[in-house]
Structure 1
Amino acid sequence: MVPSLLLAAGLASAAPGGGAPFAADFTGATLRVDLYHSGTSSEEHFAIRRLRVEGPWPGSRTRLIDTSNLGKYMVEVADLATNRVLYSRGFASIYGEWETTAEADREWGTFEEAVRVPEPRRPFQLRLRKRGPDGTFREIWRTSVDPRSRFVDRPAIQEADVTELMIGGDPARKVDLLVLGDGYTAAQRPKFLADARRALAALFAVEPFRSRKEDFNVRALFTPSPQPGITRPRAGIFRDTPLGTRYNAFDSERYVLTFDDHRWRDIAASAPYDVVAIMVNERKYGGGGIFNLYCTFAADSAFADYLFVHEFGHHIAGLADEYYTSDVAYEELPPIEVEPWEPNISALLPDGMPKWRALLSEGVPVPTPWDKETFEKESRARQERRRRLRAEGAPEEELERLFAEERSLFTAMLASERYAGKVGAFEGAGYRARGLYRPSTDCIMFTRDEVGFCPVCAAAIDRVIDGYTE
């Protein structure tokens, strides 16, 4: 508990944000609120662990109210005296994924979280909203904070090993990408930087990032690990790394996350950032990406370029996985009673048309026919081969060969579809074979094929980049 910092408050309605200049409401610094998020599949609670002032606010100083309607949660900052909303931001979280697993039905869980906001000049309400069953945001928690309180930590910015890889201008008008590494020893610093540069080359070779390259600043922050590699529980390998990344999140073998949210943010605080990519010094295929949290990827995987670009799509733009034949950890699949919030999947609600109707190709029917049955047959056969290889402890090289074979097959198969290259509504997306639709036959959010982002995904990324740069 933080004494005299939290003030009781009723559930008053929020007023829309005004147009006051940034400097009138904010100091120019970043305020980080470290939270504990606890609950089960049916209830959740929050508690503040710490409030900490970091460096200059790296985000936009003009687009402070989030109108994108993205994310499972939203944070709001409202002036305590006037109830005027000063800042809002949609996001997703590890807890938001965990609550859909079977474990959350059986027991309680507690997860570290943090929200970063521009530091207000005056006392404010911090509000958290969550998307309800009808798809709209509802307030689930609030507290009042006096930013001038002596209980707000104001540490000096720690010096760190930061390399500027690409600087395009003022952080307030750029997307600030921070690349972190986990599982790299001190002697592997050159490898860390080489891996970071290779990953960036892959990202900026793909549209829309190629066209928007000048809208980014990129920095790499190196923190050495005592041993190479990260924790791999199924292999009996455990590492104490600076960022705490590990495979097997939610018992999904290839899912790489860190649950030490406050620890990695303490490290990252030495550099400005809007988005974060964590490279893990491993060859084993794996990664993860959570909207407005971070993305991870195995830097030495034969599919590292794909992993980074795909996971970064989740992280920066809230793009959904479009695949639906792979094993996942989630028990509660996306609802089909309402339109999903992710910009690249649709339930064709409420009127039988996808949310990307403005981008539909002329003459393409909705739903759009494709050879779904053949694709599913081939995909599931390869899923079974993958499970067998994993169970047998096959070396990573064999799995990489399987992925390469799959890529070759599916690239040709999907490119031969009647509506290949068109924007339509193709059934099969978001882990569901029925009831959810994706915009194109192929996309980096659907397969490992080297096809880049479809027009709908690219447009969604463009909109997010605009929010940082305008």
Structure 2
Amino acid sequence: MRTKAMLCVLACLAAVIPAPAAAADPAPDSASVRSEWREVFSPDGSIRRVLTTRRAEEPSAPRSALAAAEVIPIEVNGPSESRFDLVFVGDGYTSSQFSTYGQHVRSKLDEIMAIEPFRSHRAQFNVWQVNVPSAQSGVDNDPTQGVSRSTALDMGFWCAGIERLLCVNETKARQYAAQARDVDQVLALGNSTKYGGAGGGVATASGGNAQSGQVAIHELGHSVGKLADEYTYGQGDLYTGPEPRESNVSIYQRATMSQYKLKWYRWLGQSTPDGGVIDTFTGGYYHQRGIYRPSDNSIMRTLGRQFNLPGREAMIAAFYRETGLIDAGAPDASSSVLWVKPIRSAGTTTTTWRIDGRPAGTGDRLDLAAARLSGGSHTVTATVTARTPWVRDPALQKNALTDSRTWTITR
């Protein structure tokens, strides 16, 4: 597979409220405690970033000791080698509740695929459901603190003292997910209707809550598109650092960006799907000033919104980096006809052929007999190019939206 993507996810309160420790709990050893930044999401869509402290994850059983889990293909659009494989694992679902879990998986998938650019590029995804049986139904601390349940992935609310932060044993989640054919992203669903989720190497969300899927979309912006957060809460007032590497935040204002052709200069002044036009809006990257974002309010700032134009461009390029543009091709040059099967997504794809560097036609097939090759060795190349109005950067067009296959023919 190409570059693998992993993600994080969600949850929230109006304020960070520390969870009181049970009286019988011993004070945690400092070596078992870790600090990490977590995104906290409110039901109104607002996002903030807080530094949390929680006990380190307990070691899980060896992978060989895990029970085999049933893997159900939800949507298979092609070979995993040329697809983005999204794998759902569930926690707090007993064996008799797998039909409910399946409904939750499809609901979250529909929510993700309803937003662009996922909707137009759905053919580039495979989706798998891993049925992980739990001894008890539900997750810890739901509906209130102190509720404990025996589940396969140890999911629970009130993670790090934040009520709606829903954590999971990420090692176990990955191990179960690995029973699917391939894994590019793991999304863990908890058997709960309470709004919540959590960030980290595995995304979590409440399976039975209609809003929680928005968190997964936001986090896919991070893990797939490598997009920065565009909200201002988290690390102070004035940003004084260097130019960030993420494509959707910058220290440069519109005039400088336009003059020196920086970041999203190609999109300046264009109407954007999340509302308004692309410009340089003050604030983002967890700071109020000294940093700018492309639009007023995209999904990287507030849940329930769309990706802005630079964000959409980054996501589409990332899809193609992972999947390539060619599903399959002629296995060798023994036939008189060479062929490729392009992945069909939004926009158009064009296949061009060259023989020894010279143009030899277009289309998905090349008739070698018609080419009238002379004796000796020849190099034949098929190049597939995707075109979409949502990608303007020539470097992305060349590096991500172009793919090729090559054969050597001897006559």
Judge same fold: TM > 0.5, yes or no. yes
Partner of 2:188 in structure 1? 278
Q: How far did 1:174 drift? A: 0.7
SS of the counterpart of 2:189? Answer: strand
- What do the CA deviations read for 1:33-87 (whole angstroms, capped 9, x no partner)? xxxxxxxxxxxxxxxxxxxxxxxxxx22xx69x9xxx99xxxxxxxxxxxxxxxx
Instruction: Check whether the contact 2:88–2:177 (CA below 8 A) recurs between aligned residues.
Output: no
Q: 1:159 to 1:192 in 2, by over 3 A?
A: same
Question: In the alignment, is residue 342 of structure 1 matched against residue 246 of structure 2?
Answer: yes
Instruction: Check whether the contact 2:278–2:309 (CA below 8 A) recurs between aligned residues.
Output: yes
CA distance in 1, matches of 2:94, 2:63: 30
Identity of aligned pairs, percent? 29
Question: In the alignment, is residue 97 of structure 1 matched against residue 37 of structure 2?
Answer: yes
Q: 1:336 to 1:212 in 2, by over 3 A?
A: farther
Partner of 2:269 in structure 1? 362
- What do the CA deviations read for 1:140-171 (whole angstroms, capped 9, x no partner)? xxxxxxxxxxxxx9959974211101111121
Q: 1:362 to 1:335 in 2, by over 3 A?
A: closer
Paired AA for residue 446 in structure 1: R
- What do the CA deviations read for 1:318-370 (whole angstroms, capped 9, x no partner)? 33332335xxxx66899641223433333339x95396324432389xxxxxx
For residue 318 of structure 1, the aligned residue among 212, 215, 226 is: 226
For residue 292 of structure 2, the aligned residue among 416, 437, 442 is: 437
Partner of 2:372 in structure 1? none
CA distance in 1, matches of 2:151, 2:94: 10
Question: In the alignment, is residue 295 of structure 1 matched against residue 150 of structure 2?
Answer: no
Partner of 2:302 in structure 1? 447
For residue 156 of structure 2, the aligned residue among 246, 249, 254 is: 246
Instruction: Check whether the contact 1:112–1:261 (CA below 8 A) recurs between aligned residues.
Output: no
Aligned Cα RMSD in Å?
3.9
SS of the counterpart of 1:462? Answer: helix
- What do the CA deviations read for 1:160-191 (whole angstroms, capped 9, x no partner)? 21110111112111101101111222221111
Trace 1:395-410 onto structure 2 (pairs within 5 A): none
CA distance in 1, matches of 2:63, 2:306: 43
Instruction: Check whether the contact 1:423–1:439 (CA below 8 A) recurs between aligned residues.
Output: yes
Trace 1:165-204 onto structure 2 (pairs within 5 A): 165-204=74-113
- What do the CA deviations read for 1:201-242 (whole angstroms, capped 9, x no partner)? 111111111111111111010112222222238622233321
For residue 428 of structure 1, the aligned residue among 283, 286, 292 is: 283
Q: How far did 1:469 drift? A: 0.9
Q: How far did 1:305 drift? A: 3.6
SS of the counterpart of 2:257? Answer: coil
Paired AA for residue 461 in structure 1: M
Q: Point out which structure has higher relative CO (alpha carbons under 8 A, 6+ apart).
A: 2
Q: Normalized against structure 1, the TM-score is what?
A: 0.51
Q: 1:243 to 1:209 in 2, by over 3 A?
A: same
For residue 216 of structure 1, the aligned residue among 125, 146, 156 is: 125
Q: 1:156 to 1:448 in 2, by over 3 A?
A: closer
Instruction: Check whether the contact 1:359–1:423 (CA below 8 A) recurs between aligned residues.
Output: no
Q: How far did 1:274 drift? A: 0.8
Question: In the alignment, is residue 309 of structure 1 matched against residue 220 of structure 2?
Answer: no
Paired AA for residue 122 in structure 2: K
Q: How far did 1:442 drift? A: 2.1
Partner of 2:114 in structure 1? 205
Partner of 1:374 in structure 2? none
CA distance in 1, matches of 2:249, 2:59: 27
Which structure 2 residue ranges, 5 or more long, are not aligned? 9-33, 39-48, 325-411
For residue 161 of structure 1, the aligned residue among 56, 70, 73 is: 70
Q: How far did 1:245 drift? A: 2.3
Q: 1:267 to 1:460 in 2, by over 3 A?
A: same
Q: How far did 1:110 drift? A: 4.9
CA distance in 1, matches of 2:176, 2:208: 23
Paired AA for residue 348 in structure 1: Y
Q: How far did 1:440 drift? A: 1.1
Comparing 432-441 and 182-191, the one that deviates more:
432-441
Comparing 175-184 and 298-307, the one that deviates more:
298-307
Q: How far did 1:286 drift? A: 1.5
Question: In the alignment, is residue 459 of structure 1 matched against residue 290 of structure 2?
Answer: no
Partner of 1:469 in structure 2? 323
CA distance in 2, matches of 1:179, 1:155: 20
Paired AA for residue 466 in structure 1: Y
Instruction: Check whether the contact 2:264–2:310 (CA below 8 A) recurs between aligned residues.
Output: no
Q: Normalized against structure 2, the TM-score is what?
A: 0.58
- Of the two, which has the highest radius of gyration? 2
Which one has the bigger helix percentage? 1
CA distance in 2, matches of 1:278, 1:97: 19
Instruction: Check whether the contact 1:295–1:315 (CA below 8 A) recurs between aligned residues.
Output: no
Q: 1:300 to 1:428 in 2, by over 3 A?
A: farther
